[in-house]
Amino acid sequence: MAMEEKNKIGVYICHCGSNISDYVDVEKVREEVAKIKHVSISKTTMFACADATQNEIVQDIQENDLDAIVVASCSPKLHLDTFKNVAERAGLNPYNYVQINIREQCSWAHSDKPVQATEKAIQLVKSGIARVGYSEALIKTKISAENVVVVIGAGVSGMRSAIELADLGSYVYLIEREYFVGGRVSQWGELFTTNETGKEIISRLYHKLMEYKNITLFTGAEIISSTGTVGNFDIQVKIRPRYIKPGCKVDPEKLQKVIDACPVEIPDVFNFNLTTCKAIYKNFESEFPEIPAIDPDHCTRCGECEKLCDDIDLGQQDEFVNIKAGAILINTGYDPYEPKTGEFGYKEIENVITLPQLKRLIELSGEELIYKNKKIQNIGYIYCVGSRQKDGENKYCSRYCCTSTIYTSIVIKNKYKNIHNYHFDKSIRTYGKLELLYREASENGDVFLQFWDEDPPVVSRNGNGTVVSIKDMLTNGKELEVDCDLVVLVTGMVPRQDNKIADILKAPIGRDKFFNEIHPKLRPVETVIDGVLISGACQGPKNISESLKSSLSAASKANSLVKKGEIELKPTIAFIDKNACVWCDECMKACPFDAIIKVQSNGKDVAEIVEAKCKGGGMCLPVCPENAINLKGYTDNEMEAMITALAD
C-alpha cells in the first residue's frame, strides 16, 4: 500500500514517566509531526502502555477511522505485541502499526544533549510515519498441529513437565537417554529446605507419571533425527536395549547373584567414580524403571548372567520409533564441572574431591565419615571452582553451589560428631530465605574465610596431611593455613558435555553454552525455533525449585501451542519474486532455519520459502544478487522510506 493511501495516521508520543520527557521535548515532537500530511491525530501520553491509554487509542482508531498508527516510546522488544493487540481490538490490522524507540535510542543515549535528543526524536518519529505509509495489512498463516509433545529428559523437571502436559490434555512422549529416570536429583540425599531425599522425590514423581495413559516413557532412548516444523515435527527415536526382558521382575537376591557372577567391573559414574559397579546394574533399590540394565559398552557377552537368569537376552537389538509431535520441550539438565588435573590439587592429592562426590560419600558412609580408609575430622570447602572464573570459560555464577555446600556442611554436623567445617569463599550467595542456612552453619561453629579473585587458596601436601593456605580478606589479608583431612571443591553447573540434541533441533546456544531463550523475562522458555522450548538447568544454573517453576511454564506454553489443533504463524516472513529469481543457492546457504528450498516454476529452478520454518531473520535478503527476495513488514519500500525521512 503506497503512502498516499494511508490518509489517517495516528501518532502517540510517550513520556515514559520521565524516562523520555526529562531529555526529549515531547510536546515539540508532537507539534512537528502533526504538520506531516496524513497525520490525523498527534498526542502525547504519560504512559502509552497503560490500560487507560490503550483504551484511548482504541477509541481514536474507531471514531476517526484511522488506517495506521505510530507509537513513539520504549524498545519494541517490550511492547510491540501490546500495541499490536490494541490495533486488533480496534479493528485495525496489527501490521499497520509501527513502534519507534525514542527511549533507549534517543533520550537515554543522549541524556547530556537534550536539544539534539529532541531533534533526533523528531526525525525518528518522521521515519516511523514514512514507514507505516507503506505498511501492508498482513494475514497470519494457520497450520494444523498435533496435540503431542515430546519431552527430552526425565529428570525432576522433565517428569514434572510431562505430568503437567498430561493434565492439560496433551499426549506426551518422555524420552530419557539413561536407563533410569531421575537425572542428577536421583544422586542426592537430603535436599535443602524440604529435607526430602532425591530418591523420595524421584519415586513420587515416577509413580505419578505411571498413572497417566497419555504419557509414554522411553528410557535408554535418544532422538536421532527431527524434521518438519512447529505443529508437525517428525521425530525418530532410537531405543537401546536393556538386554533384560520387559516383563522381568528380578527379586533382589537373584539379581545380586547375577551381579556377582558378572566378571566386568567398571567405575560407577552414579557415585562419581568413588566406587565400582558391574556391567549389569541398578543404581539403587528404588530406581525406576525397576528393571536392571546391562551396559553394552562394557559387557563382554561372556554369558554368565544368562546362565543364572532366563530373563536376560543378550541378543536384543536397537529399536526405532517414529513420532509425530506438535512441540518439543528440552529438559536435558546439566553436568557438574569437572576440575582440571592439578586444579586445587584435584587428581594429584588423593583427598581432594568435588562436592558431588562428597554428597555421594555421605550416602555411602555409615556412622562415621570415612574416605580412603581415613576418618574425616576437618573438611575444607573451596568455593567457585568452575564458576565466576575471571580468566576461564565459566564467568557466570552457578547460584545453587553456596547453598548446597552450606546445607551439606549442616547435614555433616548433624550426622557425624566432632567434624569441623572450613569454608573458603569469594562471597556467599545464599539468596532469599536460604540465608537462614548460612546463619545456622555459622551458629554450628563453621569457619568462613574469604579470598580475593586474583589470590585464590593454595592446596598443598604437608607430610601425610593436606594444607589449605589463604590470604583472608576478612582479617585484612592475614595469611592462614588450615590442616584438612578432606578438601572439597565446590563445583558449579556446566552444560551437558554430550549435547547432540542442540545440533539435531538447531536449538540456539548462548555464550555460556547453555540453551538460549528468546528473552529472559518476556519469553523465558521459548527459543527462536518455533515449537522448541527449554526449561530447567539446561538453560542455565537453577536449583530444583526454580527448575520446576521453569518446567511448568514451558509445559503451559507447549500446551497452548498445540491444544487447539492449529497454530497461527507470524506473517513477517520472506517472499520470493519467482520471475526475478535465477536460483543461485546463496539464499539457502544463508538461512540458518532451512526455510528455503528449490522448486520448479515455469520451467526453471527457483527458491521457495517454507512459511512454517521462516523466522523473518532477513539473512537471505542481502545475499540475493537479483534482489528477488523481500520481507513482509520490512519491505524495501518501507526501509527506503525510513532512510529518506531520516536523511531529510
Domain boundaries, the chain: 3-138, 148-240+318-334+495-562, 252-308, 336-494, 570-632
Amino acid at 168: L
Mean pLDDT for 52-61 is: 97
Same fold, 148-240+318-334+495-562 and 336-494: yes
Secondary structure (3-state) at 474: helix
pLDDT, residue 49, reads 94
Other CB atoms within 10 A of residue 392 CB: 12
pLDDT, residue 594, reads 87
pLDDT, residue 192, reads 87
Residues 6+ apart with CB under 8 A from 616: 570, 572, 573, 574, 631, 632, 633, 634
Q: Residue 636: which pLDDT band, with cuts at 50, 70 and 90?
A: very high
Query: What Rg value do the Cα atoms of the chain yield, rounded?
Result: 30
Q: Residue 622: which pLDDT band, with cuts at 50, 70 and 90?
A: very high
Does 64 have pLDDT greater than 80? yes
Running DSSP on this structure, what letter comes out for residue 33? H
Does 517 have pLDDT greater than 90? yes
List Cα–Cα distances, 274 to 277, 502, 546, in angstroms: 10, 31, 29
Running DSSP on this structure, what letter comes out for residue 340? P
Residue 457 and residue 467 in contact, taking contact as beta carbons nearer than 8 Å: no
Angle between helices 401-415 and 435-443 in degrees, nearest 10? 40
Does 1 have pLDDT greater than 60? no
Does 70 have pLDDT greater than 90? yes
Q: Residue 140: which pLDDT band, with cuts at 50, 70 and 90?
A: confident
pLDDT, residue 285, reads 64
pLDDT, residue 257, reads 87
Q: Which CATH code for domain 336-494?
A: 3.50.50.60
Element (H, E) at 439: helix 435-443
Architecture of domain 148-240+318-334+495-562: 3-Layer(bba) Sandwich (3.50)
Does 283 have pLDDT greater than 70? no
pLDDT, residue 2, reads 41
Tens digit of each residue's pLDDT (9 = 90 or more) over 11-45: 999 999 999 999 999 999 999 999 999 999 999 99
- List the Cα angle 294/297/299 in 5-degree steps: 50
C-alpha to C-alpha distance for 435 and 565, rounded to whole angstroms: 47
C-alpha to C-alpha distance for 391 and 372, rounded to whole angstroms: 33
* Residue-averaged pLDDT of the chain: 93
C-alpha to C-alpha distance for 266 and 284, rounded to whole angstroms: 16
Angle between helices 156-167 and 198-209 in degrees, nearest 10? 30
Mean pLDDT for 174-181 is: 96
Task: Give percent of the chain above pLDDT 70.
Answer: 98
Does 530 have pLDDT greater than 60? yes
Element (H, E) at 388: none
Tens digit of each residue's pLDDT (9 = 90 or more) over 594-613: 899 999 999 999 999 998 88
Q: Residue 393: which pLDDT band, with cuts at 50, 70 and 90?
A: confident
Mean pLDDT for 47-76 is: 96
**Domain 3-138 adopts which CATH fold?**
Rossmann fold (3.40.50)
C-alpha to C-alpha distance for 545 and 534, rounded to whole angstroms: 16
Domain 570-632 maps to which CATH number in 3.40.50.1100, 3.20.20.70, 3.30.470.10, 3.30.70.3270? 3.30.70.3270
Helix, strand, coil % over all residues of the chain, rounded to 5: 30, 25, 40
pLDDT, residue 3, reads 44
The single residue listed with the C-alpha cell 559387557 is: 299
C-alpha to C-alpha distance for 438 and 448, rounded to whole angstroms: 10
Residues 6+ apart with CB under 8 A from 632: 136, 138, 571, 572, 573, 574, 575, 616
C-alpha to C-alpha distance for 28 and 120, rounded to whole angstroms: 12
Does 255 have pLDDT greater than 90? no
Tens digit of each residue's pLDDT (9 = 90 or more) over 284-332: 666 799 888 999 999 999 988 888 888 889 999 999 999 999 999 999 9
